[in-house]
């Protein structure tokens, strides 16, 4: 080792150290909207430093392809950064897939470069890297396809699905163990990657649309862990740190999502929600419901003092958030106190509703979390539910036989008046009937969310 | 190698704990931008791909590495870009620049 080489190596390590610190600060500043944008800046500086430092690496002789690839990647990244806010969940899933693709490719190349002199420990983490990377790659692609509605959102299930899935995983792990012990048997390596890719597909196809927040978070965690494993393979502490941060972030979000649905990880991954309950939907049509016109709804809203709006995925689908903002503006001008109740799993990814409402220029201090607002519903004059269903279902509190019993919900039924904008009486994603709709204080507002809110706005004297 | 391994495991353990503590305090309001930011940071895997391509060890390694760099860089650029766009949208109705919502 020449002194020159050692010196440049130290410089690179120090640069990585600074970059790691910046990454941690970047996440720390995300804790509040007032400091969050500093967080991005810290992350960007850290990233530029890390990439710049890597280019100083003594072993790098081929700059041409590196630069071409960096430019090409940036070119693809810009349109991916400009997607509509409603498309953010599928964009996020797609970027998990890209991250995992990178990790899997580097891991595979590393295997072929090092085999058969690959140390046992390196081979173990390398297997972890490609298995996690492979399943995250295809799993995220399937998730993105479901979110983009290229693939059916309904869970796709068949008999013995869980046994097939676990069997596949067991085979992949078994092969990996064999390769650790016999690194010269490189013909098995493509099989490991192939099974991981297949497993990713099988893992996500049985998962339905409403479980997407958990699945995206879980895939986020896997992507992080695979990057950390790559850090072990390449002996890069920077990668280990970034991967561990991402892995723990994804894990925390998945736990929050699971808790918000009163379900366990295993239940989300192997339960295929929405399958069991399809029969429960039949035979409920006879009960009477009360409905109202936009004009009546407008009169009720104008007479209220306190209004809580409960947005759900239906609002995103109908792209109704800008109309909702107009309604918010008009009511606020009339002196009505309007707030928004955000259920943790409303929408298709963690925080989805907040982003959509913020996009429509609704101030974020009006967006209230479930635990904080639930106590206020008894003093609320009108709860206006827009495109949300299961998260308002009182059966979760009262009906032990309900499949969603125990799930924390927004207690809209305790408001003086509840108004639900809905296309028809069809049950929600989970196929569960909502007793809320038959309550005496409930009014159904039948129609498309965007058009209906638009009509209310018109009736209130907007345009 | 074994001492390296132990060091690496220590680093992983500490970083995981820091991650849990830091991210626990992120307001649910910002969970979507948080995910796109961690996504961008995670794309630091690009450094591994850069070394792979730069060292020019085998043609197949270069091809795989180039694809890996493209995929990761698109995450870096797209991830930071969209996170910034999202955060710009979050505005408060309070006129003062007081601390935002509680976590």
User: Mind telling me how many Å the CA of B48 is from chain A's nearest CA?
Assistant: 7
Q: Which two tokens stand for residue A122?
A: 């390196």
Give tens-digit pLDDT for A396-410.
898 888 878 888 999
User: How many domains are there within chain B?
Assistant: 1
B47–A69 CB contact, under 8 Å = no
Q: Name the B residues in 13-42 with CB < 8 Å from any A CB.
A: 15-16, 18-20, 22-42
- How many angstroms separate the CA atoms of A156 and A149, rounded? 14
Is there a contact between B29 and A364 (Cβ–Cβ < 8 Å)? yes
Domain interval for residue B35: 30-90
d(CA A19, CA B46): 14
CB contact under 8 A, A351 and B18: no
Q: Do A247 and B16 touch (CB under 8 A)?
A: yes
Residue B40, CB half-sphere, CA atoms under 13 Å: how many?
32
The token duo for A354 is 């907040």
Q: Is A445 helix (H, G, I), strand (E, B) or coil?
A: strand
A164: exposed, middle or buried (Cβ count in 10 Å: 0-12, 13-18, 19+): middle
Q: What is B79-95 written as a DSSP string?
A: HHHHHHHHHHH---SSS
Tens of each residue's pLDDT in chain A, 463 residues: 566 667 788 899 999 999 999 999 999 999 989 999 999 999 999 999 999 999 988 788 889 999 999 999 999 999 999 999 889 999 999 999 999 999 999 999 999 999 888 889 899 999 999 999 999 999 999 999 999 988 887 777 777 788 888 899 999 999 999 999 998 888 999 999 999 999 999 989 888 877 888 899 999 999 999 999 999 999 999 999 999 999 999 999 999 998 888 878 777 766 654 444 444 444 445 578 888 999 999 999 999 999 999 999 889 888 999 999 999 999 999 999 999 999 998 888 999 999 999 999 999 999 999 999 999 999 999 999 998 888 899 988 988 888 788 889 999 999 999 999 988 777 655 567 888 999 999 999 999 999 999 999 999 986 5
Domain-embedded: residue B9: no
Cα angle vertex A384, ends A382, A388, to 5°? 145
* Residue B78 lies inside a defined structural domain of this protein: yes
Asked if A344 contacts A370 with a C-beta cutoff of 8 angstroms, the reply is yes
CA A439, A443, A446 angle in degrees (round to 5)?
A: 125
Q: Which residues of A1-35 are buried (b: 16+ CB within 10 A; e: fewer)?
A: eeeeeeeeeeebeebbeebbebbbbbbbbbbbbee
**pLDDT one-digit tens code per residue, A98-141:** 999 999 999 999 999 998 888 898 999 999 999 999 999 999 99
Distance from CA of B6 to the nearest CA of A (A): 10
- Contact partners, residue A438, CB within 8 Å, separation at least 6: A287, A288, A289
Structure tokens at A26: 């970047």
Task: Cite the active site residues of A.
Answer: 390
The answer to whether residue B46 is domain-embedded is: yes
Query: Beta-strand (E) ranges in A150-260?
Result: none
Specify if B51 maps to a domain. yes
Q: Is residue B56 part of a domain?
A: yes
Candidates A59, A239, A364; nearest CB to B44: A239
The answer to whether B10 contacts chain A (CB < 8 Å) is no
**Residues of chain B neighbouring A43 (CB-CB closer than 8 A):** 37, 40-41, 80
Q: How many CA atoms lie within 13 A of A289 on its CB side?
A: 22
The distance of A19 to chain B (nearest Cα, Å) reads 10
Is the CB of residue B84 less than 8 Å from the CB of residue B40?
no
B15 neighbourhood in chain A, CB within 8 Å:
240-241, 244-245
Q: Which of A82, A98, A243 sits opposite B72 (nearest CB)?
A: A98
């Amino acid at each position: 080792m020449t002194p020159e080489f050692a010196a440049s190596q130290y410089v690179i390590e120090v640069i990585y150290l600074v970059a790691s610190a910046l990454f941690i600060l970047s996440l720390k500043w995300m804790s509040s909207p007032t400091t969050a944008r500093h967080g991005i800046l810290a992350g960007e500086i850290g990233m530029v430093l890390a990439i710049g430092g890597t280019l100083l690496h003594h072993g790098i002789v081929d700059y041409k392809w590196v630069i071409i690839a960096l430019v090409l990647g940036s070119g693809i990244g810009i349109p991916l950064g400009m997607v509509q806010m409603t498309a953010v969940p599928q964009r996020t899933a797609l970027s998990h897939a890209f991250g995992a693709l990178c990790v899997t490719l580097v891991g595979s190349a590393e295997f072929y470069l090092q085999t058969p002199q690959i140390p046992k420990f390196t081979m173990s983490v390398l297997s972890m890297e490609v298995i996690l990377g492979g399943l995250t790659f295809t799993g995220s692609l399937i998730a993105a396809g479901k979110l983009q509605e290229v693939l059916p959102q309904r869970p796709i299930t068949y008999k013995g699905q869980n046994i097939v899935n676990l069997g596949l995983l067991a085979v992949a792990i078994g092969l990996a163990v064999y390769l650790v012990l016999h690194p010269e048997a490189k013909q098995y390596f493509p099989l490991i990657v192939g099974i991981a890719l297949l497993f990713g597909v099988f893992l996500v196809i049985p998962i339905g649309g409403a479980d997407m927040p958990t699945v995206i978070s879980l895939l986020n965690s896997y992507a992080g862990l695979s990057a950390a494993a790559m850090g072990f393979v390449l002996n890069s502490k920077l990668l280990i740190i970034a991967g561990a941060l991402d892995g723990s972030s994804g894990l925390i979000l998945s736990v929050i999502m699971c808790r918000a649905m009163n379900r366990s990880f295993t239940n989300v991954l192997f339960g295929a929600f929405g399958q069991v309950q399809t029969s429960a939907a039949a035979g409920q049509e006879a009960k009477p419901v009360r409905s109202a016109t936009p004009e009546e709804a407008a009169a009720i809203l104008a007479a209220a003092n306190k209004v809580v709006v409960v947005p759900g995925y239906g609002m995103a689908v109908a792209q109704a958030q800008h109309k909702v903002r107009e309604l918010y503006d008009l009511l606020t001008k009339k002196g009505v106190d309007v707030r928004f109740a955000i259920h943790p799993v409303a929408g298709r990814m963690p925080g989805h509703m907040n982003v959509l409402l913020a996009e429509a220029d609704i101030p974020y201090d009006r967006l209230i979390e479930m635990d904080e607002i639930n106590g206020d519903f008894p003093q609320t004059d009108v709860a206006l539910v827009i495109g949300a269903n299961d998260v308002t279902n009182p059966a979760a509190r009262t009906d032990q036989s309900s499949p969603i019993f125990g799930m924390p919900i927004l207690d809209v039924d305790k408001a003086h008046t509840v108004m639900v904008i809905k296309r028809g009486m069809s049950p929600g994603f989970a196929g569960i009937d909502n007793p809320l709709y038959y309550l005496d204080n409930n009014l159904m507002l039948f129609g498309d969310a965007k058009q209906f809110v638009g009509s209310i706005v018109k009736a209130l004297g907007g345009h | 190698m074994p001492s390296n391994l132990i060091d690496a495991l220590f680093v992983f353990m500490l970083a995981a704990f820091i991650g849990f503590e830091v991210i626990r305090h992120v307001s649910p309001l910002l969970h979507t931008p948080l995910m796109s930011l961690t996504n961008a940071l995670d794309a630091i895997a690009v450094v591994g791909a850069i070394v792979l391509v730069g060292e020019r060890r085998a043609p197949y390694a270069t091809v795989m590495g180039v694809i890996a760099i493209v995929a990761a860089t698109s995450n870096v650029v797209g991830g930071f870009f969209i996170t910034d766009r999202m955060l710009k949208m979050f505005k408060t109705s309070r006129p003062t620049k007081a601390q935002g919502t509680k976590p």
